[in-house]
Structure 1
């Protein structure tokens, strides 16, 4: 009898909610990528960020587990700070072979929606989206950091909600060990099965 009561109770129980579905990987081939450094961040000479998720300050190695900070456009039109992509969104940039995470905003002043990142992407080679990648540079000279930012800038591919198996270039961040580590192109390269997973 007890077994029958338990079976009836189990049938009357509320089913568990469905598991959340993962957001699908999206490749955007026409993303305008710019880069910002220690020297031209707001405030200048700092790694301060507006929407910390994994980091308290701009940074990251570029792995899936420790992605680099990236800034996105935002709008204050509604009186709220609304980001073009939610804080915490992961993005993979094949030209620098690193993962990034939305933790900062691009565009200053009382109407950032009228400026860089939120608007004007199409003015740069017909791009559909504008992202501003943190490349650091505090251990290098300002002119080196600026040259690296120029090297990173262009219309490139970006992968939103990427898998964790894209190849990651060695070194911590885009500027590391005295080099500007970019120029890999737009091809997506994944780690081979059985190989060491990406860092």
Structure 2
């Protein structure tokens, strides 16, 4: 079984980095100001990765489901860009500097055109990425809860936006399931990402 796509793998790596920085910040002799800046840059890196992915796919997507993907990725790219700007502004307010070029992330490399042959594949990957983002934001909120009310409010706003997008993606998958007595034109999507439960195509 192949590993996660670069986009999801990068979010997993950013989750690992954020946890490492939170563990460092929990030490008694840790400089909490430095830790806060590291964590905000971790959150900024998430938005940077997502802006790059959504913008790239919006501009280069091809295949039979091109327009559906563009309608999803365009607004989300703009939303993530707003998130990045708000996080960068908070970093400057705290005396830090936003890092718009996080190192070691494969999804930031130039990629070929995005060809969508299965319209559910990109929704499943997008939902997996959304769930990772939600998990990271929730853990950051726990860290900032009693330390920085302004940053806490910012993260709560971003989390609310991400939760709304996750609900939208879940609804897309749920509504795609065939109603009783109906025959869908496409196989019903499997949120787990496996092919179990999909009808087999007749052999040639």
| TM-score scaled by length of structure 1 | 0.23
Structure 1 or 2: larger strand share?
Answer: 1
Structure 1 or 2: larger helix share?
Answer: 2
